[in-house]
Amino acid sequence: MSTHPASWWAQFASATEGLDPASVTESLGDAMTPHIPSPLLRREAEIAVQTVVRHLNRPAVAALAEQSERTAARLARTVARLEERATGDGTGTAVAAAVVHVLHGRWAEGIAAAEPLLGTAPLVRAMIAAVRREALDVRLVLRLLDAGQEPGMALHSSQAIARYGWWPTWLLKVVTERALAGTLDADVITALDRCAYAELSPAQARMARRLIDADTQLVDAVAFRLEALGEPSAAVRLREGDLSAVALAARLIPV
């Protein structure tokens, strides 16, 4: 997975309602600070993260706000001083500089700065941990992102799939494939949900899967049988690829 601009990372926040600043700061801090090479600078960054998180958890306390601002500013000055004194490119301050962005609420900028050094996956995990949605599959989100989906769509698709975790395995595979292909929307989920409620036998489930995959020969054969059973409208919808007709077809056709 390649690196991404700050605008890409900003979608994690924009796609999530009520994102808690304290959770984001703590989660990103935990992901970033262990990668600061200098023990002294790492410890200063850890203290700064802890201080800012305390303030964000109790924003009305003026003393914590002052302490937070002072500690974050001190870390920024330390990083700037080390960069000025360094000769060459190996300052070892890049991750600490990313933490400074995070402490000032510039999450996307901080992540974009840290991504070349930490990789994409740990930072995605950190953002998902901050979102704190139990119905999110981190591995699936990473697969969706790797497939080229934008963060907002990946989060939505993963949550939709996790919500229907009780679906039979064959149907979860179908919905995951749809998500990876970028064709998972509300109408598709509704149609597949009808298939899940159909209580299909293993043989019927296999046939439903082939119908969903648009097996032309099978679709034509099943459509003809639906017409013979007095379901011409279902036959038309099945030929048109309407997923809502699949469950009906699978249940009505003896196998």
Amino acid at 211: L
Q: What's the DSSP call for residue 253?
A: S
Cβ 72 vs Cβ 60: under 8 Å: no
Neighbouring C-beta atoms of residue 115, cutoff 10 Å:
23
Instruction: Note the pTM of the prediction, 2 decimals.
Output: 0.71
pLDDT at 166 exceeding the cut of 80: no
Question: Among candidates 111, 92, 147, 135, which has minimal Cα distance to 12?
Answer: 111
When pLDDT is cut at 50, 70 and 90, the band that residue 73 belongs to is very high
For residues 217-240, average pLDDT: 83
pLDDT at 163 exceeding the cut of 90: no
When pLDDT is cut at 50, 70 and 90, the band that residue 87 belongs to is low
Determine which helix (DSSP H) or strand (DSSP E) holds 97, and give its type and residue range.
helix 94-103
Q: What is the C-alpha to C-alpha distance for residues 159 and 135, in angstroms, rounded to an integer?
A: 5
Terminal CA-CA length for the chain: 44
pLDDT of 74 reads 97
- On average, the pLDDT of the chain sits at 84
**Residue owning tokens 């064709």:** 183
Report the range of poorest mean pLDDT among 81-95, 126-140, 194-208: 194-208
When pLDDT is cut at 50, 70 and 90, the band that residue 133 belongs to is low
Cβ 124 vs Cβ 149: under 8 Å: no
